[in-house]
Each structure stands twice: as C-alpha cells, then as structure tokens.
Structure 1
Amino acid sequence: MTTTLVTGANKGLGLETVRRLIAAGHTVHAGMRDLASGDAARALGAIPVRLDVTDQDSVDKAIASLPELDVLVNNAAVVGPSWSLDDLDVEAMRVAFETNVFGVVRVTQAALPALRRSANPVVVNVASGLGFPRALLDPDDDSFHANLVPYASSKGAVITLTVQYAKSLPGMRINASDPGYTATDLNQHQGHQTVTEGTDATVALALLGPDGPTGEFHNRLGRVTY
C-alpha cells in the first residue's frame, strides 16, 4: 500500500487530490491546520493530520505521526494580502512565501528521511502557471491577466525549488504541477476548470513509478517545457 501525505487537504484542490489518490489505492493522510475542518476528508476515508506548514513544530509532529511515507504532495498555499502593485509591500511578499515556499521546504526537509526509506519516493509540488514567465508574457494564457505579484513570485520559486530538489535527489521522482485556472476559494471560484481538471497533473505525477520523469513542470495536458 502506498502511503501519501497531502498538505492543505481539507478543501479545494487538496481535498480532490485526496479523493482521487484514495480511489487509486493510496492510504492518504490529509494535512490541515484545524482538524475540526477534516470531516470531508474523513468521509473520503483519509486520515486527517494536524499540519500547519508555517510552524516547524507542527510539521515535525505531523511527519513523526506517519507510519511511513511514499508520496508527498505539497499543496498548501495562500494568495496573500496583495493583489496589485498598489498594495504591494514586503510583508505581503513574506506572507505568501511563508506558506508557499518556506512551507514546501519545511515539510519536504522533514519528510526526507521517511521518503528515503520508500521503494518509490515521489514528491509533487503544486505550483502554478502564474510562476512561469512564459505564461505571464503570453496574452492568450490565463496567467497573463493576473497580477498577484507575491503569489506569482512564490510559485516561480516553487518551480525552481522543484528542479533543484530533483537534481539533488535523483533516486526520487520530484515534479511540479500547474492546476490551471480552477474554481477554488483562492480565486473566489472564478476559474473555468473544475477541481477534478485542476488536479489532473498533480494526481498523474503522484502516481509515477520509479521510471517516471523528475524535475519537470506539468499541467493537465502534459509536460510544460521551460
């Protein structure tokens, strides 16, 4: 049985990722800041785990509670308080990076010992097309029309982190996914994709075998070239 941890798993893309990986046969631990919000995950058959990616003690306790770990999905993210340059300041950047970047590092570093014991260790970092410069410069891409400087910058950092982790850990499959413009709380449900469509890339990467790709960025249509 494959043991999986999904962060930010109480709703939206995280909860749908939990549902789909349970359907694929994984034992899924659903990380969330407040266990009182875990009813939906429990109903799917997941095991809720208290996990605040901004709190090292919370991260360490969550990882220590797992019997083993094969797949880590770093999904937890926030938009942050800034939506344009007009309200941008350093604190807005710090808020976004604390969860979206530093949180990925906290959880991944804490999980490495367990992942190294797995026969097929996999890490999926949920990034965004907003972190991909080519998408930001393409008027035909959904990402072009969004400002969200802190969020976009943080997701660009996630893509870079993914590449560097993959290069440093060639025995693991470590990739980044782009959910696309999906209707979630992060965008007031304005996205044109369903959460199922938005988790296609994440789920596909989470199900990779030892011969799968690593250090890549994928959307629901496949690999996005750098």
Structure 2
Amino acid sequence: MCADDVVYYDEIIKGKKIVLPDDKGNKKYDFGSIFWVPILYFEQNRQIWRPSEYEDEGTTARFFCIQEMGEDAFKESTPLRNPRLESTEEFPVVRAKKRPCVFIKNHETHKTNPNCQVIPMYAIDDELGRRKPKYSDDFVDEIRSLKYGHLFYLDMDSHKKMKSSVLRLDLNVCIPRNYLEYSKLCLNDEVAEILSDHIVRFYTETVNKETIYEEIMKENKYYL
C-alpha cells in the first residue's frame, strides 16, 4: 500500500514474481509459463506482395513487389502453383518481433501441433534501461493497481532474463505450438492467480468473489 492508500498487487505478493518451473513443479504448458513467440503487427500497414513476373503460363511467380491493398485484393484471376496461392489469397506484408508471452491454454484442435493462446509482454524500459515515454510512472502505477482490464504489470524477474513489462490482454494471440520457444520461466502461483482473475474480468466484466483480486479492486474502488 502506498500514498493515498492505493493497493499495488505486486507489493502484496511475497517472493519472486517470476520463477523457475522447478521451484514450484510447473509443467511446460501450464498456465503462466513464459515463451518467446513471434508477434505479428498486422495493424501497421495494409500492403501485399504481388507477383511482378511469371513463368509456366502464369502459374509460377519469379519476382514479387509490394503493393497497397486495393479493391482487387484477394481477387486474383489465376491461382499460383509455385509458390502456392489460391485466387482468393494474398501474401500480406507483415512485420514480426519475437516477444516473451505468458501461456494461457492449449486449444486441442490439432493433436500434433495444437494452437496455443498466449498474451504478449511489452517492456516498459528500453535497451539502455530508460523508461519509455509512453509508460510514465503514474501510468505504470495505475496498471499495478489493476485499474485497466486490458493491461497487467509484471516486475523484472530475479534471473534478469525478462524486463519489467506490461501484458496486453487485448492483443492476445492464438498460435501453433511449434512457434513457441520455452524460456524455462513461469509466474509464481500468486501472480498467476491474480492474472487469471484479471483475465476473467477483462472478458466477462465480472470479478471472482472472495479472492485477493476482489479485495484489491474494492480497496482501489475499481469494483465493477
């Protein structure tokens, strides 16, 4: 608890916030495990790779160029054999960055390579340890107090493998398991429990009763 009696969830958690799985017997694909995952930035542009030169009667593309996504996108007259591309498909121009992500669950829709739900982590400091401008101290404190349903704060782990970060629940992704690279780190049980309740709040706009999470929400007058 700090000035003005605001409760910060990370101050009431004892011990390390991020731990080695062996410290608590976690399995690799348990809720709260941390993986490195390529996160795509679809929102940053609307461009596609279009063939610029063809072979084999127009079924093989030799070269591609970047074009803006116009009204004819996903409406090609002829599919490609090499690389394979149906007439209703396009190759989008998308940047990606490998980020640490918190594992939520498996979706057992594919037995050999199931889709996995993960929440990406965004560091609040840059490579030199300086606070990024968009993460002011006041804003980070509001996140730590659980003010925002779509944001969740994680403190730097004691192993120095992860930076203090903000989880973006609104940017959670579903990705095949073979894209996940295990960090051999996970959330401790108390942090995982609070995050689980935070996820429930975000998706259902309700709060689980008789929990630490509910008490924090009441103390901070965020109760729904």
Per the normalisation by structure 2, the TM-score is: 0.27
Between Structure 1 and Structure 2, whose CA radius of gyration is higher?
A: 2
Q: Which has the higher helix share?
A: 1
Could you tell me the TM-score, scaled by structure 1's length? Answer: 0.27
Whose strand fraction is larger, Structure 1's or Structure 2's? 2
